[in-house]
């Protein structure tokens, strides 16, 4: 089968700015060839079996030359693979996507472009700067501050033309050229009090922004130690758009969420959504996958209770039923018990009414709750080598039960650097164990959904914080308490700027 290459724009940094089509194509790819600025939150949408190839460039250092990148794309496509060339921003805006498409097309290799959200517009927007504004700026001009590597003459930017424009100027890749840009614009006749902003790591939790004028911004940026990647915005709209930092309680914080992946494409969870609504840059990373156990299920009749301890167990159970062409009606009058609301929701969307759920969402509490109402046989449907608390309590209470393993968790290596995050949120003890296998001896601030998870984190040497209850909203509350120091949005808003521009 013939392979194909997709040139995909990953957006400016915030993983939620990856387009729906980009996410779908990335999730289908066999090979992902990605740039340096692609964050973990975007890469985690690649399927687990995908080959990831880092061809990133940094500040004139090109470990993989452009011609070699094009050779990699062509070679992988000729192997019949689906190849994604993942680029920051948009692939056709200073991303060399046009060159790559031309080379692939000349070689008869199918190639498709998936546009991305460009940093030229998104980064100023996240800083509150509208690049066009009625009565202030009616045009936008996007420039690169760097010339081609093979051209040694002066960059072909006509600063005298730029100085006469009434619109907004956006310079990409310009952190090291900031002073030169300001000097050449003023030398070409632009007013020294023209508003200008420089924004580092735009749209991410590490966003850092400094406002000023052509005359004073270089010194202010040096004081704030502005580094690449950075976007420079010049024009009257910079003043008009000046705003305060986000008031969301966790703005500027980064939280890593190790999780179980049940299937490719299952990469987004409720906890991440809750944290993002509070201003967090939440990055989910798979540390294990749920693998169905294919041993036939036993007869389901004759049980008083069917007991589920995870949503993964619910999914695996119903998948087994379907594979064996069996019907849930086999359970007869059996009642349903669930360890917590996430498991309960997974059951109820499949038409099963949950009649028992403990007030504390763990195995021991579920065993205690069952012992108060159960009189006959129970069937536990859960993970292979699951936590011993539930069966231990049931045995102590003298209850008769059968246990069936419907899935097992298989560890996945985690290559994300936990030191880049303010905290790691764990939703189960197995996630702690699987994360620790890949990231031992890591200084981690672990926020845990329950005491068993917290104890596992402490045994791993982590500083552990425990949610008040085993619910995702409570876990998000615990993250907020853990990171309750003032938001580290790194925004720089000197009072003088608002009045003097």
Tens of pLDDT, residues 407-462: 998 888 887 888 889 999 998 888 899 899 877 767 889 999 888 899 999 999 99
Check if the beta carbon of residue 115 is closer than 8 Å to that of residue 26.
no
Confidence at 376, pLDDT banded by 50, 70, 90:
confident
pLDDT digits (tens, 9 = 90+) for 268-277: 578 999 999 9
Q: Do domains 254-290+413-482 and 293-411 have the same CATH topology?
A: yes
Residue tagged 């089509």 (tokens): 21
Strands 82-87, 4-9: parallel, antiparallel or unpaired by DSSP?
parallel
pLDDT digits (tens, 9 = 90+) for 92-133: 999 899 999 999 999 999 999 999 999 999 999 999 999 999
Measured at the CA of 12, the angle between CA 127 and CA 15, to 5 degrees, comes to 105
Range with lowest mean pLDDT among 279-283, 390-394, 497-501: 497-501
CA neighbor of 340 nearest in space, from 331, 351, 348, 332: 348
Active site residues: 35, 57, 173
CA neighbor of 84 nearest in space, from 26, 40, 38: 26
Range with lowest mean pLDDT among 257-271, 317-331, 411-425: 257-271
Confidence at 252, pLDDT banded by 50, 70, 90:
confident
Confidence at 59, pLDDT banded by 50, 70, 90:
low
Query: Spelled out in words, what is the top-level CATH class assigned to the domain 121-246+489-500?
Result: alpha beta
Strands 335-338, 491-492: parallel, antiparallel or unpaired by DSSP?
unpaired
Question: In CATH, what is the architecture of 254-290+413-482?
Answer: 3-Layer(aba) Sandwich (3.40)
Those residues with Cβ within 8 angstroms of residue 430's Cβ, 6 or more apart along the chain or in another chain: 260, 288, 383, 409
Residue tagged 């046009």 (tokens): 98
Q: Above pLDDT 90, what percent of the chain?
A: 66
- The edge-to-edge listing of strands for the beta sheet with 491-492 is 140-144, 168-172, 230-234, 195-200, 208-213, 491-492
SS3 411: strand
Looking at the DSSP bridge assignments, the partners of residue 32 are 52, 84
Domain definitions of the chain by residue range: 4-117, 121-246+489-500, 254-290+413-482, 293-411
Check if the beta carbon of residue 480 is closer than 8 Å to that of residue 278.
yes
d(CA 295, CA 198): 60
d(CA 89, CA 119): 6
Strands 208-213, 491-492: parallel, antiparallel or unpaired by DSSP?
parallel
pTM of the entire structure? 0.78
**How many Cβ atoms are within 10 Å of 473's Cβ, its own excluded?**
13
Check if the beta carbon of residue 252 is closer than 8 Å to that of residue 489.
yes
**Which CATH superfamily groups domain 4-117?**
Tetrapyrrole methylase, N-terminal domain (3.40.1010.10)
d(CA 394, CA 90): 57
Q: Above pLDDT 70, what percent of the chain?
A: 90
d(CA 462, CA 439): 11
pLDDT digits (tens, 9 = 90+) for 202-230: 998 889 999 999 999 999 999 999 999 99
Q: What is the CATH number of domain 293-411?
A: 3.40.50.10090
Left, alpha or beta for 53 (phi > 0: left; psi -120 to 50: alpha)? beta
Residue 488 has pLDDT above 80, yes or no: no
The phi and psi torsions of 245 (rounded to 5 degrees) equal: -60, 160
């Amino acid at each position: 089968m013939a392979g194909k290459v997709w040139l995909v724009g990953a957006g400016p940094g915030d993983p939620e700015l990856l387009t729906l089509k980009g996410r779908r194509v990335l999730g289908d790819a066999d090979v992902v060839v990605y740039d340096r600025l692609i964050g973990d939150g975007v890469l985690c949408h690649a399927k687990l079996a995908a080959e990831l190839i880092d061809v990133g460039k940094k500040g004139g250092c090109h470990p993989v030359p452009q011609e070699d990148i094009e050779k990699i794309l062509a070679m992988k496509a000729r192997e019949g693979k689906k190849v994604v060339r993942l680029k920051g921003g948009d692939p056709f805006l200073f991303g060399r996507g046009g060159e790559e498409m031309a080379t692939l097309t000349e070689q008869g290799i199918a190639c498709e472009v998936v546009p991305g959200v460009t940093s030229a517009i998104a980064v100023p927007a996240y800083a509150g700067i509208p690049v066009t504004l009625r009565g202030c700026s009616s045009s936008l001009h996007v420039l690169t501050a760097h010339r081609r590597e093979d051209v040694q003459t002066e960059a072909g930017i006509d600063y005298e033309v730029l100085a006469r424009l009434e619109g907004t100027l956006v310079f990409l890749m310009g952190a090291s050229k900031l002073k030169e840009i300001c000097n050449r614009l003023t030398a070409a006749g632009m007013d020294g009090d023209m508003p200008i902003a420089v924004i580092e790591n735009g749209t991410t939790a590490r966003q850092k922004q400094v406002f000023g004028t052509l005359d004073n911004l270089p010194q202010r940026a040096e004081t704030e130690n502005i580094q690449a990647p950075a976007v420079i915005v010049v024009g009257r709209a910079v003043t008009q758009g000046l705003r305060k930092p986000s008031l969301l309680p966790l703005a500027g914080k980064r939280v890593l969420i190790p999780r179980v992946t049940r299937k490719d494409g299952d990469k987004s969870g409720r906890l991440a959504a809750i944290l993002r609504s509070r201003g967090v840059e939440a990055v989910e990373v798979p540390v294990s996958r749920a693998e169905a156990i294919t041993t036939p299920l036993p007869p389901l009749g004759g049980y008083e209770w069917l007991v589920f301890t995870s949503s993964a167990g619910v999914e695996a159970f119903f998948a087994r039923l379907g594979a064996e062409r069996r019907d849930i009606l086999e359970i007869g009058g059996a009642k349903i018990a669930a360890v917590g609301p996430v498991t309960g929701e997974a059951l109820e969307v499949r038409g099963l009414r949950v009649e028992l759920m403990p007030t504390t969402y763990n195995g021991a509490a579920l065993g205690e709750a069952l012992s108060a109402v159960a009189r006959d046989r129970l069937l536990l449907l859960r993970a292979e080598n699951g936590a011993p608390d539930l069966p231990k309590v049931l045995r102590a209470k003298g209850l008769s039960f059968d246990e069936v393993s419907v899935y097992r968790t298989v560890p996945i290596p985690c290559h994300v650097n936990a030191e880049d995050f303010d905290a790691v949120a764990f939703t189960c003890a197995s996630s702690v164990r699987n994360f620790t296998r890949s990231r031992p001896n890591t200084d981690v601030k672990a926020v845990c959904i329950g005491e068993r998870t917290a104890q596992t984190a402490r045994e791993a040497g982590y500083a552990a914080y425990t949610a008040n209850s085993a619910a995702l909203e409570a876990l998000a509350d615990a993250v907020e308490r853990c990171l309750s120091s003032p938001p580290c949005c790194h925004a720089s808003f000197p009072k003088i700027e608002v009045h003097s521009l």
